[in-house]
Amino acid sequence: MEKIHLLYFLGLVIIGIISTYVLIFLPRGVSIPALEKTFFLFGLALNTIILLWSIAGFLLYRWFKTGKKNPSLIIWSISFFIYSITFLAHLFRALGYSIANENLSVFHFFIYRWGMIVWAAGILYGLLKILTENKTLQQIPSIITLIMGFTWLILGLFIIPSKNPIEFTMYLFLHTIWIPVCFTMFYIFAYYGYKTKQNGPKFVALGFFGVMISYHGWAPWHFSDLVYIYFIWYFIFLLSLTPILIGFIVMAVEEK
């Protein structure tokens, strides 16, 4: 018998000890008062971070594994890591850290949301580097996305007067940049999968379509009396990250 199989039996022993303790003493878990009313936000944010970091980590792994020859992989990896800033804020907000509340002020909102702009520009730039060798076509759409994103954020939060600058900014950003970029990513990956007859890009496309749809749900359901439905859209967004992760893994297998 291979020595590595001893780990299996060791695992069974450890599980048996834990199960015996639980059955005899019926231990009661320690309460976390900070999560009594925010456990749903904590759970959604935690799972989102795990998926975003899994996607980013796998892309980084693929970049190293392929000899750092494909810059799109490192660009996408960094973009997903940066995007997770928003959900790290949700996580700490759920734990009771008021400084992590993006709605505390326009400044806090900017700090925790600028990563969305970088993600949109980065993910688009990475894909364009694969589709074309023309540096102008690679850079211009991504730079425009970056400039427009920060322009909307700065104008909406700090310059244009409005009753609710955070809400106003989100409407502008989502419906003029975020949703169109997500649809573009969906279309290009779907078309690429169709032309190459590969399944990986189709999974990624499905994920981006889900992300787009979930953010469409923000505007009508972010109001305080309907916010419980917003959290359902949050869950759909979380689910949408899964086919993106699966798609990148399948693409790596299909490349071989």
DSSP 165-226: HHHHHHHHHIIIIIHHHHHHHHHHHHHHHHHHT-SHHHHHHHHHHHHHHHHHTHHHH-STTT
The answer to the question of residue 13 being in a domain is no
| pLDDT number for residue 198 | 92
- Average pLDDT estimate for 214-223: 90
The answer to the question of residue 16 being in a domain is no
Higher pLDDT, 4 or 163: 163
Structural domain including 188 reads 37-255
Residue 54 burial (10 A CB sphere; 0-12, 13-18, 19+):
middle
| pLDDT number for residue 130 | 85
On the question of pLDDT at 132 being above 90, the answer is no
| pLDDT number for residue 14 | 97
The answer to the question of residue 30 being in a domain is no
The answer to the question of residue 187 being in a domain is yes
State the average pLDDT for the chain. Answer: 93
The answer to the question of residue 28 being in a domain is no
The answer to the question of residue 93 being in a domain is yes
- Average pLDDT estimate for 195-212: 94
pTM: 0.91
Count of residues in the chain: 256
Interval 91-121: pLDDT, tens: 999 999 999 999 999 999 999 999 999 999 9
The answer to the question of residue 8 being in a domain is no
- Average pLDDT estimate for 20-38: 92
Q: Coil, strand, or helix at residue 29?
A: coil
Domains in the chain, number:
1
**Nearest-5° angle of CA 90, CA 223, CA 175?**
80
Cβ contacts of 57-64, under 8 Å, gap ≥ 24:
58/245, 58/248, 58/249, 58/252, 59/248, 62/248, 62/252
| pLDDT number for residue 1 | 59
